[in-house]
Amino acid sequence: MIGLPHLYLLAGLVFAGWAIATLLDRQHTARLRGSAFWALISLEFLAGDVLSDFHNGLIVLALVGLALAGAPGKGQPATTSTADRQASAAARGNRLFLPALIVPMVALAGTLALPRLGDLVDPKQVTLICLGLGAIIAIAVLLAWLRPPPSAAVQEGRRLAEGVGWAMILPQLLASLGMVFGLAGMGDIVGAVAPLAIPEGSRLAAVLVFTGGMALFTILMGNAFAAFPVLMGGIGLPVLVHGLGGDPVVIGAVGMLAGFCGTLLSPMAANFNIVPAALLNLPDRYAVIRAQWPTAVALWLFNTALIWGFAFR
């Protein structure tokens, strides 16, 4: 059965390719540190499940140390020049976007079709697996169509990853932080304090505290996945579900969307809000957040209304 281990293997090989390419790049600004950075991430994907918690923790600390030391840095990938890309874009036009559509198309089609094929794919992970399959197919189509050097996929991936930098692994680190908060009993603390701000039996006040807490914790931690176990364990389940009889599916799903509204407002979500400004050389590093805040507020109000109106019947 194809499952997450196969995706982890694929991801580990991709990071290993970046590590080797970085090590061979003599013009790289942080060659050894950058190679070690990608190699450690590759090790986590390839062997993280067989390593102890202690050793996995050491790897995370090493990654943080390498990031503080300037990893992954930037190199000179053996890829096309800006002039080459402009010439290709002029010759092929909008057709260049067609391979990018392969990924969502394969993900959608595979999600609907693969569960009908028996035990070929893990039904709990079918969408993620189809996303990975779509990426493989898209790369194969591009290689056959554009006929770049065989190493183009690795080199171009490394170029983009170095443009984003260490922030590309920030969501995973923050999601792990949310699990740590949950295991440390942060949800119990929130659950003990939150009822003080909720009038007895008030659904609207309880929903506002829940969605507001999701957005606020997401702003502080940069990731709704980190905020979710804390707020769902402290307010969502004990107050909205068990106390007021709310639908856990609606509360959980829309509560995550309320948290994502906080992502639009947070500099901690650096890969979404800070890195794009840097890649585009914008003079204001917070320009993305300034453009997004009206949408974030409107969506937060809408999500709050959704829970209030449809979670209680």
Kindly report, residue by residue over 139-177, the tens digit of the pLDDT.
999 888 888 887 888 988 898 888 778 877 877 777 677
Do the domain assignments include residue 211? Answer: yes
Do the domain assignments include residue 36? Answer: no
Whether the pLDDT of residue 187 is over 70: the answer is no
- The total domain count for the chain is 2
Angle between helices 31-47 and 4-24 (to 10 degrees): 160
Domain end among 122, 147, 172: 147
**Over the stretch 69-88, which tens digit does the pLDDT of each residue have?**
988 888 888 777 778 778 88
**Averaged pLDDT of the chain:** 86
Q: Is 222 found in the same domain as 112?
A: no
Q: Is 199 found in the same domain as 283?
A: yes
Do the domain assignments include residue 25? Answer: no
**Distance set, CA 142 to CA 15, 58, 133, 224, 265 (Å):** 20, 38, 14, 34, 36
For residue 37, give both structure tokens.
């950075």
Q: Is 209 found in the same domain as 111?
A: no
Residue with tokens 């914790």: 217
Domain end among 123, 147, 171: 147
Q: Is 202 found in the same domain as 126?
A: no
Q: Is 194 found in the same domain as 108?
A: no
CA dist 256 and 260 (Å) reads 6
Do the domain assignments include residue 233? Answer: yes
Q: Which structural domain range is residue 110 located in? A: 82-147
Do the domain assignments include residue 299? Answer: yes
SS3 state of residue 41? helix
Q: Is 230 found in the same domain as 298?
A: yes
Mean pLDDT, residues 283-295 taken together: 90
Residue with tokens 């002039």: 83
Domain end among 98, 120, 147: 147
Q: Is 283 found in the same domain as 198?
A: yes
For residue 88, give both structure tokens.
């290709």
Do the domain assignments include residue 60? Answer: no
Do the domain assignments include residue 305? Answer: yes
24-33, 87-96, 176-185, 213-222: the lowest-pLDDT one: 176-185
Q: Is 142 found in the same domain as 192?
A: no
Q: Is 275 found in the same domain as 228?
A: yes
155-164, 212-221, 238-247: the lowest-pLDDT one: 155-164
Do the domain assignments include residue 302? Answer: yes
Judging by beta carbons within 10 Å of its beta carbon (0-12, 13-18, 19+), is residue 298 exposed, middle or buried?
exposed
